Structure 1
């Protein structure tokens, strides 16, 4: 499957946020989106998902124009930047609702075994983010949108998720954005940079330096 979005026009009052964006994600590849705070990364994912209405957009799946919102197609799972799961719901129920196996999850994330009988408000925000990210990646949907999955979680979990993402891309088009640009570079097959309302295809770390997104010193680390 291939999904594309272009011709996006998004304004907040008199401020143009997005107006020259093209982005493509496809099965078998991870597509990363980078950009500074406020550049419109989250807005772009929400527009693609369908819960934010821009002035104009053009979304295509396998070259065919999508006439409805993507979330209505049943083809997409979306991890938003904010908390996904409600407070005070048992983790057992959450995994049941998402058709996921707790034992398989804890075989990967062993430290969570102690939370088998916990509720969402009884674990840390970082632990909750791990569970939310796992459930979205394990949803079986053809399109997976991840907004900052690496933020606020431990480095060990980040490495585990990078492995899971590489496995899931074989059956899903994965689109991911995060401030952890090194992780995005590591996990992505294709990368776009959002700058001044437009998108640019990034070929290397040097491109990011040339665009002023990262410094020369950061390239050396």
Structure 2
């Protein structure tokens, strides 16, 4: 399956944020989005999901236009920067709702075994981020959008999440963005840079220096 976002033009009041954005994502390849703060990365994910309506956009699945918000198709999950789970929801109930195996989760994150009967508000921000990212990646769906999944997470857990992303890309379209650019570069098979409202396909990391996003010492 191939997802394409094309011809996006987004304004906030009179200011143009995005112009002529094109992005292609497909099963088997993680698509990463890089860009400076405020460049529109989160806006792109919200446009794909269907919760932000730009002036223009075209979304295609397998070359067929999608005429309603993708979230209404129930084929897509979105991890925004804010928590998505109700504070009083127990973890074991969330896993059932998302059809995800708790025991398999604890083989990856054994320190979470004691939290099965906890409610989400009892977790730290980083722990909650791990659980929410995991259940969205592992639940049955076609498309997963991840906005800052690595934020406030310990490096060991970041590596585990990256490994799970690598597994799940074999059956899902995964689009990811984070200010931790090294993790995005390492995780992604296809990489886009948002610069001056436009999308640039990055086929070589040296292009990130050419576009003045990073210097070679930062790669």
Q: TM-score range by the shorter chain?
A: over 0.9
Q: State the distance in 2 between where 1:212 and 1:132 align.
A: 34
Tell me what 1:178 maps to: 178
Is the counterpart of residue 203 in structure 1 residue 203 in structure 2? yes
Tell me what 2:105 maps to: 105
Q: State the distance in 2 between where 1:181 and 1:67 align.
A: 33
Report SS of the residue matched to 1:7: strand
Give ranges in structure 1 of 5+ residues lacking alignment: none
Give ranges in structure 2 of 5+ residues lacking alignment: none
Report SS of the residue matched to 2:145: strand
Name the TM-score, length of structure 2 as normaliser.
Answer: 0.98
> Higher mean Cα deviation, 32-41 or 205-214?
205-214
Q: State the distance in 2 between where 1:140 and 1:74 align.
A: 10
Task: Check whether the contact 2:34–2:41 (CA below 8 A) recurs between aligned residues.
Answer: yes
Q: State the distance in 2 between where 1:47 and 1:153 align.
A: 26
Tell me what 1:151 maps to: 151
Q: Deviations over 1:122-174 (max 9, x none)?
A: 11010000000000100121111111111111111110111111111111111
1:129-148 → structure 2 map (5 Å cutoff): 129-148=129-148
> Higher mean Cα deviation, 89-98 or 25-34?
89-98
Deviation at 1:81, TM superposition (A): 1.4
Deviation at 1:78, TM superposition (A): 1.0
| Ranges of 4+ aligned residues in structure 1 off by more than 2 Å | none
Name the TM-score, length of structure 1 as normaliser.
Answer: 0.97
Deviation at 1:204, TM superposition (A): 1.9
Deviation at 1:217, TM superposition (A): 2.2
C-alpha RMSD over aligned residues: 0.9
How many residue pairs end up in the alignment? 219
1:50-69 → structure 2 map (5 Å cutoff): 50-69=50-69
> Higher mean Cα deviation, 137-146 or 41-50?
137-146
Tell me what 1:16 maps to: 16
Q: State the distance in 1 between where 2:161 and 2:90 align.
A: 23
Q: State the distance in 2 between where 1:204 and 1:161 align.
A: 24
Tell me what 2:80 maps to: 80
1:31-42 → structure 2 map (5 Å cutoff): 31-42=31-42
Report SS of the residue matched to 2:161: helix
Task: Check whether the contact 2:100–2:135 (CA below 8 A) recurs between aligned residues.
Answer: yes
Q: State the distance in 1 between where 2:142 and 2:205 align.
A: 29
Tell me what 2:70 maps to: 70
Q: State the distance in 2 between where 1:215 and 1:46 align.
A: 29
Deviation at 1:90, TM superposition (A): 1.0
Q: State the distance in 2 between where 1:99 and 1:218 align.
A: 40
Is the counterpart of residue 90 in structure 1 residue 118 in structure 2? no
